[in-house]
Amino acid sequence: MAVRVVFIGGLGRSGTTLLERLLGEVPGVAPLGEVVHLWERGIGAGEPCGCGEPFTACAFWRRVGIRAFGGWSPGLADRVLTLRHRVDRTRHIPALAAHRHKVGLSGYTRAYSRVYEAAAQVTSCRVVVDSSKHASLAFCLNTSPVVDLSVVHVVRDPRAVAYSWRRRVTRPENGRPMTRWRPFRTAVHWVVQNLAFELLARRGGTVIRVRYEDLMADPGAVLGTLLARLGLGGHAGGTALAFMRPGVAELSMAHTCAGNPMRFTAGSLALSRDDSWCRHLSRRHRWLVTALAWPLMVQYGYRLRDQRGPEEIASRWVTAGVAAQECR
């Protein structure tokens, strides 16, 4: 029987790690982090699991590795990374969508399905979550007969994403800075990744779109609807969401192999929308990003411009007693 996988897709800095952490608190769901980086950062570099232990020392991942491959090894990581380079690239998406599969694709997806199957067995969970994000990997996995794939496509206002990619953030795994992109590059990647997930849906993939802004406005309702659409029986107020109360989620430790620094968070997490881009992203960069991304922004319901400043709008919404839906 195919292993049930929820793949969280979208451009980085869109709230994918947050959504994985929330889904991972639902009974019967096991969050694995960004499995696409397991081979290099986990096996290769020994970066820490979400539990804080080095990947190779984490008891959970050791059990998964033994069950899946008889144990992790540098040779295994090298083989998967070689295949990844050959088949899992954004530029191969048109060929994948046209079912022109490259040699090595089945071996590549088999490595992932073994990880998923082993993790499901070790955790006794019926669903595993992979927050690898990349559309190209979702296309690859969608070809596997032993992976029952559902993609949750996370979308966030590209101006907010562009601001986030400009920020200086240190990776807790190794103390080095996270990759930074200029707004132009972020906007291009935002368009390409989101178009790719639209294409996957048109090619028959199961793709459910979630806007970061909607999730933050009403986390319980959005998660409840998402769980119901995933067939995981969620509805607001049900036991599936017992870890949530208004504006707060109680997170337990999660054995995530890679991802945003939020994967290390445990305890109470305030669910509040990060709108710092409104104050710090320059007008020039807002227009640049909007000029590149506007067709999809319109499709996803983002307003393109507003003459007033964000502070004025925010105060108007607060005065009206209405949660701010947009900030421009």
Chain residues in the site for Zn ion (CB under 5 A): 49, 51, 58, 60, 255
Residue placing its CB nearer to Zn ion in the complex, 60 or 163: 60
Least distance CB 111 / Zn ion (angstroms) = 20
Cβ contact 301:325 at 8 Å: no
Residue among 163, 219, 156, 187 nearest 14 (CA)? 156
Cβ closest to Zn ion, residue 14 vs residue 17: 17
Min. distance of Cβ 190 from Zn ion in angstroms?
A: 32
Nearer to Zn ion, 38 or 152 (CB): 38
Give least dist CB 278 to Zn ion, A: 37
Cβ distance to Zn ion smaller for residue 56 or 90: 56
**Closest to Zn ion by CB, 166 or 255:** 255
d(CA 276, CA 161): 11
The H-assigned helical ranges of 92-182 are 93-97, 105-123, 135-141, 158-166
Which amino acid, residue 243?
Answer: F
Kindly report the length of the chain.
Answer: 328
Q: Token pair of 322, please?
A: 């209405």
Neighbours of 2 (CB within 10 A): 13
CB of 21 to Zn ion, least distance (A): 14
Token readout for 287 is 């227009």
Q: Which is nearer to Zn ion, 222 or 257 (CB)?
A: 257
Q: Write down the residue that tokens 């995981």 correspond to.
A: 232
| Nearest to Zn ion of 144, 260 (CB atom) | 260
Task: State the minimum distance, in angstroms, from the CB of residue 33 to Zn ion.
Answer: 10
205/208 Cα distance (integer angstroms): 10
Residues with Cβ within 8 Å of 49's Cβ and at least 6 positions away in sequence, in order, are: 42, 55, 58, 60, 61, 255, 256, 257
Nearest distance from C-beta of residue 186 to Zn ion, angstroms: 31
Question: At its nearest, how many Å lie between Zn ion and the CB of residue 117?
Answer: 18
If the CB atoms of residues 63 and 86 are measured against Zn ion, the closer one turns out to be 63
CB 125 within 8 A of CB 30: yes
Nearest to 277 by CA among 154, 157, 153, 155: 157
Q: Give the Cα separation of 145 and 188 in Å (integer).
A: 32
CA distance linking residue 59 with residue 14, whole number of Å: 30
Give me the least distance between CB of 67 and Zn ion, in Å please. 15
Strands 267-270 and 248-251: antiparallel
